[in-house]
Amino acid sequence: PTGDCSEGLNNASFPADSATSNFRSVYAVETSDGSALSCINNAKKNTDVLQMKFLEGLQIQPNQTSKDYYYFIAEQERAEFRKGPILAASINGNATIWRYRHHVYYIVEDSFKINDQSVKVPVLRRKRLTTNQNMRTESVMEGVENMHFVFGLDTTNNSRVDTYKSINQMTNSDWENRRGILTVQVFLLVRSLLPDSNLKLKNQTYTLGEDASKKELSFNDNFRRAVFTTTIRLNNVGANLWRI
């Protein structure tokens, strides 16, 4: 696709021909100059960018496919990515069809007019793979000021998390180990769109993460902020890894 998001070996929207490394379904970087993954040039500096490639969980039939999506066709010993629609006569009778997605999440600073004031607001954005507009850019939520990801890894092949790593600790082999990344801890710092003149406590420090690579962010302004965190378990990894 034009304007595809990719970094490193075998990390574009689709697997590379004759690749020498595994296709990366999960990947993240921290921006230093606003650019990331060869498709973003306006990200907020020192924020994390998350790339996800996945299949929707509902298996569909050929007559439910359309030209608006890419699909993953799975058979016992082979698999194929294909743009819809998928004709039933063109696939094996035992094949299964799944809608395929490629999303990238990042933060930008955008200008808004609120109460006749021009203000800069941090915005969580997404780039999404489409069949007609390639990587489409969409706003997800205003007010997301920073985000941080910590990955739970299985390094002993027992399908249990035994190591946690931030982006700067992850290696190429970590990203390419399709069995290894079992969970993602997400930390979001969200702030109000406008300052609150009634806020008395101006010196604020917020911590994103709990490991040695945690982010500690300090502010001296009148914006109200809150940290939200959750842990997401990834499907079809570890002992449940799909084998094609």
Within a domain: residue 140?
A: yes
Within a domain: residue 18?
A: no
Q: If phi over 0 gives left and psi between -120 and 50 gives alpha, with beta otherwise, what is residue 134?
A: left
Q: For the chain, what is the domain count?
A: 1
pLDDT value at residue 145: 97
Give residue 168's identity as a one-letter amino acid code. N
Within a domain: residue 191?
A: yes
pLDDT value at residue 226: 96
Within a domain: residue 20?
A: no
Within a domain: residue 44?
A: yes
pLDDT value at residue 239: 64
Within a domain: residue 208?
A: yes
Domain containing 189 equals 26-240
Q: Where are the beta strands (DSSP E) in 144-233?
A: 144-153, 163-166, 181-191, 203-208, 215-220, 225-233
Within a domain: residue 10?
A: no
215 close to 146: Cβ distance less than 8 angstroms: yes
Within a domain: residue 194?
A: yes
pLDDT value at residue 225: 95
Closest by CA to 232, choosing from 55, 52, 99, is: 52
51 close to 103: Cβ distance less than 8 angstroms: yes
pLDDT value at residue 244: 42
Parts of the chain with a pLDDT under 50: 244
For every residue of 60-123, DSSP letters joined together read B-GGG--TTSEEEEE-SS-EEEEESP--GGGS-TT-EEEEEEEEEEEEEEEEEEETTEEEEEEE
189 alpha-carbon distance from chain centroid:
17
Q: What is the C-alpha to C-alpha distance for residues 230 and 92, in angstroms, rounded to an integer?
A: 40
- Output Rg (C-alpha) for the chain, integer angstroms: 20
